[in-house]
Amino acid sequence: MKKEEKETKPRYGIVNFEKRRYPRYNVDLPIEYTRGDSVVHGEAFNASEGGLLVYFSERVEVGQHLSLKLFFSSMSEFNTIAAWVEVVWVDVHLGEDWGDYRAGVKFVDISLEDLEKLIIFLRSLSG
């Protein structure tokens, strides 16, 4: 085989494809969620039509269901979205030292009206 005739081998590597169904938008919005009889406050740091990245003030567990309210203003209106969410992941690296617990939640039950408000709000962020 001549030097000019190199054997070509398939190249392998890692490709990172986005697996999320909905685009995420960076936000900084207050939330309230209920645990038992108490209302607890936290913050959402990104949002999509499918769920939120949330900082809770207390430890939550994967699989836990919470009643959650998200507060935001859109088109000079103050809006509240109420939803039933499920914790799908928890960041094990944050916690007691930080005073916050980062977790991803997905919407399990949200009214069509609240979902519509959320979609309009998220679209307003992209353009």
pLDDT at 21: 76
At position 80, the amino acid (one-letter code) is T
pLDDT at 16: 45
CA distances from 3 to 9, 38, 81 (A): 15, 75, 67
pLDDT at 23: 87
Instruction: Per-residue pLDDT tens, the chain, 127 aa: give them.
Output: 555 555 555 555 454 444 557 889 999 999 999 988 889 999 999 999 999 999 998 888 999 999 999 999 876 778 899 999 999 999 866 555 666 789 999 999 999 999 999 999 999 887 6
pLDDT at 111: 97
pTM: 0.77
Give the number of other CB atoms < 10 A from CB of residue 62: 11
CA distances from 43 to 78, 90, 119 (A): 17, 15, 19
Domains, the chain, in order of start with CATH, read 25-125 (2.40.10.220)
pLDDT at 95: 53
At position 67, the amino acid (one-letter code) is S
pLDDT at 17: 45
